[in-house]
């Protein structure tokens, strides 16, 4: 029987890049949604107007977040493919130069001469492995990133923006006073910002300071725009 696979004591954050898009989209949605609704509240607009404007903002913002993330991701993948093709060409046409460069990278990472020789013997037998190692050590990129779905991160970012922007609107759907709706919206959004930025939902990766910083930014943005709304209503 083989040895049982032991569970890692300190697991890494799963789907780190996907989570980053969710945090980015959600944080933007919460901060911008809170700021906008606070401004409209301060201007004394009715709840119906705030809901309509807020929903339109949530839709427009989520679409913008989707396309901006998609274009950014596409550009990143295009650059990655270019780097992969260039390194592959150099390994095929300039093997001695690439070998010397790889040896220098390995030594820079702390391997001694004997270890470098052993590693290079293995890499010279497998050019795909050589390519992966060259990309990872020289350019700090992983070839596996080319296999990611180009729509997963954009959809995640856009959906997170939409849901968190709607969260800022939720209190305005109730028959309560304007200041109570504002306070409820602030509490909901700041709690969401704290949860997203602190990673409270990921065991072992809770960062309360990051959560507090994000909540503070959201609170300041909401407060400033509320005052702007009041000033505009008095002009």
Q: What percent of the chain has pLDDT over 70?
A: 89
Tens-place pLDDT, residues 102-139: 888 888 888 888 888 888 888 888 888 888 888 888 77
Stated pTM of the model: 0.74
Tens-place pLDDT, residues 139-178: 777 766 667 777 888 999 999 999 999 999 999 998 788 8
Burial class (CB in 10 A: 0-12, 13-18, 19+), 59: middle
Q: Could you tell me the residue ranges of all domains in the chain?
A: 16-176+208-233
Q: How confident is the model at residue 98 (pLDDT cuts 50, 70, 90)?
A: confident
Q: How confident is the model at residue 61 (pLDDT cuts 50, 70, 90)?
A: very high
Contacts of range 142-146, beta carbons closer than 8 Å, 24 or more positions apart = 143/84, 145/77, 145/80, 146/77, 146/80, 146/81, 146/84
């Amino acid at each position: 029987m083989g040895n049982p696979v032991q569970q890692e004591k300190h697991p890494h954050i799963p789907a780190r890049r996907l989570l980053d898009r969710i945090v980015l989209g959600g944080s933007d949605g919460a901060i911008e949604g809170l700021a906008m609704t606070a401004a409209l509240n301060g201007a004394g607009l009715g709840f119906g107007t705030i809901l309509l404007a807020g929903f339109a903002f949530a839709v427009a913002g989520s679409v913008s977040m989707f396309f901006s993330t998609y274009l950014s991701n596409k550009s990143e993948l295009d650059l990655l493919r270019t780097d992969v093709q260039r390194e592959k060409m150099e390994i095929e046409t300039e093997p001695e130069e690439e070998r010397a460069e790889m040896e220098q990278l390995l030594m820079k990472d702390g391997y001694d001469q004997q270890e470098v020789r052993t590693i290079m013997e293995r890499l010279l037998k497998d050019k795909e492995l050589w390519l992966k190692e060259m990309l990872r050590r020289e350019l700090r990129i992983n070839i596996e990133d080319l296999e990611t779905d180009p729509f997963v991160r954009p959809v995640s970012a856009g959906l997170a923006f939409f849901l968190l922007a709607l969260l800022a609107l939720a209190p305005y759907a109730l028959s309560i006073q304007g200041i109570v709706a504002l306070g409820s919206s602030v509490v909901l959004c700041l709690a969401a910002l704290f949860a997203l930025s602190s990673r409270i939902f990921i065991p072992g990766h809770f960062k309360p300071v990051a959560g507090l910083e994000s909540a503070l930014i959201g609170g300041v943005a909401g407060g400033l725009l509320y005052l702007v709304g009041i000033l505009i209503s008095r002009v």
